[in-house]
Amino acid sequence: MNKFLCGWLLLVLALSGCTTRSKAKLQAQAAFAAGQQQALAQMRDAQRTNIRVIGNVRNPDVPWAEGLTLAQAIVAAGCYDQRDPREVVLIRRGERMAIDTKILLRGDDVPVEAGDTIEIHP
Protein backbone atom coordinates (compact mmCIF):
# COMPACT_ATOMS: atom_id res chain seq x y z
CA MET A 1 0.00 0.00 0.00
CA ASN A 2 1.29 3.44 -0.70
CA LYS A 3 1.71 6.09 1.97
CA PHE A 4 -1.21 8.17 0.69
CA LEU A 5 -3.64 5.29 0.91
CA CYS A 6 -2.41 4.28 4.40
CA GLY A 7 -2.80 7.86 5.61
CA TRP A 8 -6.29 8.09 4.13
CA LEU A 9 -7.29 4.79 5.73
CA LEU A 10 -6.02 5.96 9.14
CA LEU A 11 -7.93 9.24 8.79
CA VAL A 12 -11.16 7.42 7.90
CA LEU A 13 -10.73 5.07 10.84
CA ALA A 14 -10.01 7.95 13.21
CA LEU A 15 -13.10 9.89 12.11
CA SER A 16 -15.43 6.92 11.96
CA GLY A 17 -15.91 6.27 15.66
CA CYS A 18 -12.91 7.12 17.72
CA THR A 19 -13.48 9.55 20.54
CA THR A 20 -11.35 12.64 20.73
CA ARG A 21 -9.58 13.49 23.96
CA SER A 22 -11.74 16.56 24.49
CA LYS A 23 -14.92 14.54 23.94
CA ALA A 24 -13.68 11.84 26.33
CA LYS A 25 -12.83 14.51 28.90
CA LEU A 26 -16.34 16.00 28.63
CA GLN A 27 -17.89 12.55 29.02
CA ALA A 28 -15.75 11.87 32.10
CA GLN A 29 -16.72 15.22 33.63
CA ALA A 30 -20.42 14.54 32.97
CA ALA A 31 -20.13 11.08 34.57
CA PHE A 32 -18.34 12.56 37.59
CA ALA A 33 -21.02 15.25 38.02
CA ALA A 34 -23.78 12.63 37.76
CA GLY A 35 -22.05 10.51 40.40
CA GLN A 36 -21.71 13.50 42.71
CA GLN A 37 -25.41 14.31 42.33
CA GLN A 38 -26.36 10.70 43.08
CA ALA A 39 -24.17 10.69 46.20
CA LEU A 40 -25.75 13.93 47.44
CA ALA A 41 -29.23 12.55 46.86
CA GLN A 42 -28.35 9.42 48.83
CA MET A 43 -26.98 11.54 51.68
CA ARG A 44 -30.16 13.64 51.76
CA ASP A 45 -32.29 10.48 51.82
CA ALA A 46 -30.17 9.01 54.62
CA GLN A 47 -30.54 12.19 56.65
CA ARG A 48 -34.31 12.01 56.26
CA THR A 49 -34.45 8.40 57.41
CA ASN A 50 -31.75 8.40 60.09
CA ILE A 51 -31.48 9.78 63.58
CA ARG A 52 -28.30 11.80 64.18
CA VAL A 53 -26.79 11.38 67.65
CA ILE A 54 -24.25 13.99 68.73
CA GLY A 55 -22.05 13.22 71.69
CA ASN A 56 -19.51 10.66 72.81
CA VAL A 57 -20.97 7.78 70.74
CA ARG A 58 -19.67 4.98 68.51
CA ASN A 59 -22.42 5.23 65.88
CA PRO A 60 -23.70 8.78 65.30
CA ASP A 61 -26.15 7.72 62.55
CA VAL A 62 -28.91 5.45 63.80
CA PRO A 63 -31.37 4.08 61.22
CA TRP A 64 -34.89 5.25 61.94
CA ALA A 65 -37.71 2.70 62.16
CA GLU A 66 -41.37 3.04 63.07
CA GLY A 67 -41.73 2.99 66.87
CA LEU A 68 -38.09 3.94 67.62
CA THR A 69 -37.77 5.76 70.94
CA LEU A 70 -35.23 8.20 72.32
CA ALA A 71 -33.77 5.65 74.75
CA GLN A 72 -33.50 3.02 72.00
CA ALA A 73 -31.72 5.49 69.70
CA ILE A 74 -29.24 6.41 72.47
CA VAL A 75 -28.52 2.72 73.15
CA ALA A 76 -28.14 2.03 69.39
CA ALA A 77 -25.68 4.93 69.13
CA GLY A 78 -23.45 3.23 71.72
CA CYS A 79 -22.49 5.82 74.32
CA TYR A 80 -18.89 5.71 75.51
CA ASP A 81 -19.62 7.47 78.81
CA GLN A 82 -19.94 5.29 81.91
CA ARG A 83 -22.16 7.80 83.70
CA ASP A 84 -25.74 8.70 82.83
CA PRO A 85 -26.00 11.82 80.66
CA ARG A 86 -26.47 15.12 82.45
CA GLU A 87 -28.70 16.42 79.68
CA VAL A 88 -30.36 15.11 76.51
CA VAL A 89 -31.66 17.48 73.86
CA LEU A 90 -33.98 16.39 71.06
CA ILE A 91 -33.89 18.60 67.97
CA ARG A 92 -36.85 18.25 65.63
CA ARG A 93 -37.33 20.52 62.61
CA GLY A 94 -34.97 23.06 64.17
CA GLU A 95 -36.78 23.17 67.54
CA ARG A 96 -34.72 22.15 70.59
CA MET A 97 -36.44 20.24 73.40
CA ALA A 98 -34.57 19.44 76.60
CA ILE A 99 -35.51 15.96 77.85
CA ASP A 100 -35.34 15.23 81.57
CA THR A 101 -33.00 12.25 81.89
CA LYS A 102 -34.84 11.10 85.03
CA ILE A 103 -37.90 10.46 82.86
CA LEU A 104 -35.86 8.22 80.57
CA LEU A 105 -34.26 6.37 83.50
CA ARG A 106 -37.73 5.78 84.95
CA GLY A 107 -38.74 4.02 81.76
CA ASP A 108 -40.90 6.77 80.32
CA ASP A 109 -39.73 7.23 76.76
CA VAL A 110 -40.17 9.70 73.92
CA PRO A 111 -40.79 8.61 70.33
CA VAL A 112 -38.34 9.94 67.74
CA GLU A 113 -39.05 10.84 64.14
CA ALA A 114 -36.97 10.39 61.02
CA GLY A 115 -34.52 13.28 60.72
CA ASP A 116 -34.39 14.05 64.45
CA THR A 117 -31.08 14.93 66.07
CA ILE A 118 -30.20 13.93 69.62
CA GLU A 119 -27.52 15.73 71.64
CA ILE A 120 -26.10 13.88 74.63
CA HIS A 121 -24.32 16.04 77.20
CA PRO A 122 -22.27 14.21 79.86
63-93: pLDDT as tens digits: 999 999 999 999 999 988 888 888 999 999 9
Contact 51, 85 (CB under 8 A): no
Q: Is the pLDDT of residue 11 over 60?
A: no
Q: Which residue has the higher pLDDT, 67 or 102?
A: 67
Contact 63, 50 (CB under 8 A): yes
Residue 14 falls inside a structural domain: no
Q: What is the CATH number of the domain that holds 108?
A: 3.10.560.10
Residue 110 falls inside a structural domain: yes
In whole numbers, what is the pLDDT of the chain averaged over residues?
82
Nearest-angstrom CA–CA distance, 72 and 57 = 13
Q: 60 φ, ψ to 5°?
A: -75, -15
Give me the number of domains the chain comprises.
Answer: 1
Contact 62, 50 (CB under 8 A): yes
Q: Which residue has the higher pLDDT, 43 or 29?
A: 29
Residue 63 falls inside a structural domain: yes
Residue 60 falls inside a structural domain: yes
Query: Is residue 11 within a helix (H) or strand (E), and if so which, with residue range?
Result: helix 3-15
Measure the CA angle with vertex 97, ends 102 and 57; round to 5°: 70
Residue 59 falls inside a structural domain: yes
Range of the domain at 83: 47-121
Residue 38 falls inside a structural domain: no
Q: Helices marked H in 16-89 — which ranges?
A: 21-49, 70-77
